[in-house]
Chain A
Amino acid sequence: MKKYLYLAVIALACSGALVSSCNDDKLTGDSIFTTKEQKRNPFDQWLYKNYTMPYNVDFQYRLKTEETDKSYNFVPADSAKAAKLAIITKFMWFDPYAQIVGLDFIKENAPRIIITVGIPGYTRHNSEVLGSAEGGYKVTLTKVNALTADVLKDYSSMTTFYFHTMHHEFMHILNQKKPYDESYDNISRADYLSGNWTTWSDRQAQKQGFVSAYSMENPAEDFAEMYAKYVTRTPQEWNDILTVAGTKGKSIINRKLKMVRDYMKTAWDADIDLLRNDILRRGGKIETLNLESFE
């Protein structure tokens, strides 16, 4: 009994220790956080209206080095080119998913931060990194400063520089939220090369059952490449890939494509063929976009 008494005293003492405080500090009432209104230029206002308010997405074009991958030396995006790309990104990425899969889908799953930088990440293997996706919430789009008037007119360059990257990185984001079926990794298990893919050409890779040489990096890249190639290339271009791939390559690519299609259907209730149609239709309308002013 005495023992319990001791315990009770100790418990009391402990709680006394916890609640005691020197509470004669007063809150000053001033927050250390500034409540001053942010200055927004017309582009900032456009971003606020078109990315922040509808999607809760922070589209960053003022480079914050700490938000980027330290492995690369980036420079900031040209603000005029970033503005054009912001308009195009919404049109070619957010809008097709909003239209085909649903507005809530893109609101829920769009990365919370999109970072644009001026140049690609240059690697020590003489290759360029065009984009990255992190933690299901952040996508980096690079090479903004290459968005010249000539490139804008050329759908194929726009696809390789930007459209492909958007959908590729978005697939990573989706995979980071809901993983794809791991049996995908077994289809080409023996053929992944990590960084050594740079010595392969796309054509060689296609014969092995990959849509691009970069797909050979690892299964997750393979999955994102499959998807991005499929939804940004015309049926004709896609058939060209299958022709180059030959019988063996083609059958592997088709198996992988089926898994990508099923993943999008079951995990996200999205039809990749409808998405492809809409993305291609929009690709043909880039020239009609007003990229010179914010409306």
Chain B
Amino acid sequence: MKKAYFLFFAVVMALAMQSCLHDNDTTFDLPAAQRIDKSVEDYTQILESADNGWVLQYYAGKNYSYGGYTLLLKFKNGHVTAMGDVLDPEEQATSEYAVVKDQGPMLSFNVYNKVIHPLAEPWLGNPDGVQGDYEFSILNANADSVVLQGRKWKNKMVLTPMPKEASWEEYMLGIINVKAGMEVTTYNVIQGNDTLTQASFDPSIRRLTLKLGQTTWDVPYCTTATGIVLGQPITIGNKQYSNFVWDENEKSLTDNNLKLVQFVPKSHKSLDFWVGEWTLKTSIRRRITLTLEQGSAQNTLNGKLHINNVTYELQLTYDPATGRIELPGQPVIDPTYKYPAGIVLIPASQQENKLFGEGKGSMYFTWNEDTERADAEDSGQISGHAVDSFFGVAYGEDLQPILNAEGGYVFAFTLPKIQYMTKTK
């Protein structure tokens, strides 16, 4: 028993005889909280020091799975002014920003900015949106570059200073021009004198894909005033490429000895080519003409469909990427005033004996160099079905289709089994 007391006493004594170590110098000059305060101040100072702002190559999507965007950001007195190719490249917006203390200093766009935040904004049916961040850990910062990492989606992005004399408006105009030039999306990949493969850009998701041998690249890119920058470099023959300069005359992108030259297939036609008078080939023998002229909105065509001595006005769209035109279902004014609520051009399948609903289904016309006519084909909008015809369904006063004695629809005109059209004027 005594032994137990003794042991217990020994332990207590050991506790009591703690030492007073006096070499407890701190590694850092200042307490942690003050050091973070200081770095917040320093980073704010660096961000605000770039007089003409910064260019941010922004990447959305976890693991860079979505596209690249270019933002111009100027920080002044706690406010950020931004432009970017997110929604409207000509819009400029100013809002507050802050460098805040999180686990480390963090750049937070903590008040809504209509240039920046659409990247982080989900919508009904897509609760993650394009997975963009508006809060960034600052990994490194100096006057030449600031390295950011998205707080939620973790992509790393770099801010580089915008040259002092450069105009923001001109920079954005440069982006608009490069994008316009790159509307055709297939490119031949040429290294030195060898054409290696084809690459394709998808401007809607801002990614480049190309396959060479066993390797496939699928990388996001940002458009700049002079060309494009890839989110990750592509490696061909032990060389890395990521900064491409756009040449408008040559329609090419160049990085050192690697060149991507726009490949325009013979089926690709300009908008102007489609303007003129065309004769439609359908399964009825009557002569049907479609006269096209350029529409007021970008990449649209106004069409005059002449059938049974009546002229109906239609709208078509032009796809600059493929150089083909598209005829969708649409409401049509009845120039004869026979049908009170007008006509709806409804896509249909003669083959399946089916009319499709309004708002879905269309046909493409693609130029065929060999046969010298524009072939008609279904656009694939309605899965499992193929549009091959259009019917002009007549509507009555009650805004419902007019029915004939047998209970069927009344057609103002029909375009059954559209096969192709030939240019007549």
Contacts and interface: CB of A to CB of B under 8 A. Distances in A.
Nearest to B120: A75
B399 interface: no
B151 A17 contact: no
A62 interface: yes
A124 B127 contact: yes
A13 B124 contact: no
A34 B37 contact: yes
By size class, the interface of chain A is: 35 or more
B411 to A, nearest CB: 37
Interface stretch (A87-95, A115-123, A152-160, A164-172): A115-123
Contact of A32 (B9, B31, B112): B31
Interface in B304-329: none
Contacts of B124: 122, 126, 128
Given A13-B13, A79-B95, A124-B127, A118 B112 contact: yes
A161 to B, nearest CB: 14
B18 interface: yes
Given A65-B151, A76-B112, A119-B121, A9 B9 contact: yes
A123 B13 contact: no
B345 interface: no
Contacts of B283: none
A63 interface: yes
A145 B123 CA distance: 13
Contacts of B405: none
B16 A145 contact: no
Interface stretch (B128-136, B139-147, B189-197): B128-136
Interface string A2-32: 0100100110011011001010100000001
B13 A79 contact: no
A75 B112 contact: yes
Contacts of A17: 12, 15-16, 18
Given A6-B5, A124-B127, A64 B110 contact: yes
A139 interface: no
Nearest to A16: B16
Given A17-B15, A65-B151, A77 B129 contact: no
A73 B13 contact: no
Contact of B117 (A10, A13, A72, A118): A118
Contacts of B213: none
A32 to B, nearest CB: 4
Given A13-B9, A75-B134, A122 B111 contact: no
By size class, the interface of chain B is: 35 or more
Contacts of B102: 66
A145 B122 CA distance: 13
A216 to B, nearest CB: 20
A79 B96 contact: yes
B424 interface: no
Interface in B38-84: 78
Contacts of B238: none
B125 interface: yes
Contact of A73 (B34, B78, B129): B129
A92 B126 CA distance: 32
Contacts of A9: 9
A122 B126 contact: yes
B420 interface: no
B12 A39 contact: no
Nearest to A73: B122
Nearest to B134: A75
Contact of B112 (A73, A121, A124, A145): A145
B12 A77 contact: no
Interface in A86-138: 118-119, 121-124, 126, 128
B117 A75 contact: yes
B157 interface: no
B273 interface: no
B111 A62 contact: yes
Contacts of B98: 62
B111 A79 contact: yes
B20 interface: yes
B33 interface: yes
Contacts of B20: 22
Contacts of A22: 20, 22
B127 A63 contact: no
Nearest to A61: B111
B122 to A, nearest CB: 5
Given A32-B34, A73-B127, A75-B117, A62 B112 contact: no
B16 A13 contact: yes
Interface string B1-19: 0000100110011011010
Nearest to A17: B16
Given A10-B8, A122-B127, 20 more contacts: A3-B5, A10-B12, A13-B16, A24-B22, A32-B31, A32-B33, A34-B37, A62-B98, A62-B110, A63-B110, A63-B111, A73-B127, A73-B128, A73-B129, A76-B134, A118-B117, A118-B121, A119-B121, A124-B127, A145-B112
16 contacts: A10-B5, A10-B8, A62-B96, A64-B100, A73-B127, A73-B152, A75-B112, A76-B109, A76-B134, A77-B111, A78-B112, A118-B112, A118-B121, A119-B122, A122-B123, A128-B124
